[in-house]
Amino acid sequence: MEVELRRCIICTIPKPIAAFNKEHVIPEAIGGRVVIYHVCIDCNSTLGEQADHHLTDNLLIRMFRSEHQIGGAPNPFPEGRLIDDPRQIVYTEVKDGVFVPRIRVQKLETDNPGTIQFTGEANNQKAIKTAVDKTFKRNNLPPLTDEEFNERLSETPITGMTVNFTVDSFYYARALEKIAYEMTWKWLGDSYIDDELAPAIRHFIRYGEPDSDCSFIQMCRLLSEDESAKIFVPTDHTIIIEFSKKSITCTVLIADIFISNFIMSHNPEAYALGFGTAYLTNNAVNGRVLEKRVDSLY
């Protein structure tokens, strides 16, 4: 019996159909809805770990996801600490699109034996009372009356908080190049896997380091404020492929945050597709995908 084989567009190894699963061209965590079934399961998990997450976990993207409630809407900031009392944890909450620092209600160790200290925000005394009540109950003690609770309250002004985070200025390029590569394959077909430039692009996606030879990257950066302001739908991800006489290029825009442009091939004549430009928009919030091809100019 013959087993039907399919070529993985990342490792290029022909494998049985069962060795493939669903791959999101634009990561699902940022609202991507375009899926392909030509990346093998092994490559798919490697891409997730080594390329996609550099984009989906980028601080700016996490803020975007949090603001628009996309892909689990992560808290964009790592937990911080109060400067005056580093035992106290500060976290960020999103309220109506604004990031609000909050202090976690918690039970703290004290130097006095037999004394327990609870902390929280002054405007959220109810949450502190709940935590106190729970501890009293667990220790078989009668709950504090509101009066007793209020007597024990003390307020400390907050002077500041410290938060540590790092900003990735390179690795997200691999994630953007992955989107460009997969979409170019989708538009050009299987013969693109064997394009002269494709092995270098695949290598960069899988193993790229800051000193990699990646001359096919023409641009990969944050959009300036002026450019962002001109984006018609700020929650659209956009992919554009363009044929010129000399090359095929792909532009990837991630919302109004990142812009990148890659050379995908130096052999445009190898792909007689009858279109000069194709573009796709994928709205991160409502998932709507629009695709359009424009006739060749040549």
Pick the closer one to Zn ion by CB: 40 or 82: 40
Nearest C-alpha neighbor of 258 from the set 26, 35, 36, 33: 26
Q: How far apart are CA 295 and CA 178, in angstroms?
A: 26
Task: Give the shortest CB-52-to-Zn ion separation in angstroms.
Answer: 15
Task: Give the shortest CB-43-to-Zn ion separation in angstroms.
Answer: 3
Pick the closer one to Zn ion by CB: 181 or 243: 181
Nearest C-alpha neighbor of 276 from the set 260, 261, 298: 298
Q: How far apart are CA 24 and CA 45, in angstroms?
A: 12
Q: What would the two tokens of residue 184 be? A: 């170019």
Pick the closer one to Zn ion by CB: 19 or 233: 19
Pick the closer one to Zn ion by CB: 177 or 242: 177
Q: Is the dihedral of CA 20, 14, 183, 277 positive or negative?
A: negative
Task: Give the shortest CB-6-to-Zn ion separation in angstroms.
Answer: 10
Pick the closer one to Zn ion by CB: 8 or 55: 8
Task: Give the shortest CB-16-to-Zn ion separation in angstroms.
Answer: 12
Q: Helices (DSSP H) in the chain: which residue ranges? A: 41-47, 53-56, 59-68, 125-138, 146-151, 172-188, 198-207, 225-230
Pick the closer one to Zn ion by CB: 65 or 202: 202
Pick the closer one to Zn ion by CB: 185 or 258: 185
Q: How far apart are the first and last CA of the chain?
A: 46
Considering all CA atoms of the chain, what is the largest pairwise distance in Å, rounded to the nearest integer? 84
171 to 34, 55, 134, 241, 276: CA distances (angstroms): 22, 8, 46, 22, 30
3-state secondary structure of 39: strand
Contact 248, 268 (CB under 8 A): yes
Task: Give the shortest CB-14-to-Zn ion separation in angstroms.
Answer: 10
Half-sphere exposure of 250 (CA within 13 A, CB side): 24
* Interior/surface letters 234-248, b for 16+ CB within 10 angstroms, e for the rest: ebbbbbbbbbeeebb
Task: Give the shortest CB-46-to-Zn ion separation in angstroms.
Answer: 8
Q: How far apart are CA 271 and CA 282, in angstroms?
A: 25
Pick the closer one to Zn ion by CB: 143 or 199: 199
Binding site for Zn ion (CB under 5 A): 8, 10-11, 40, 43
Task: Give the shortest CB-7-to-Zn ion separation in angstroms.
Answer: 9
Task: Give the shortest CB-39-to-Zn ion separation in angstroms.
Answer: 6
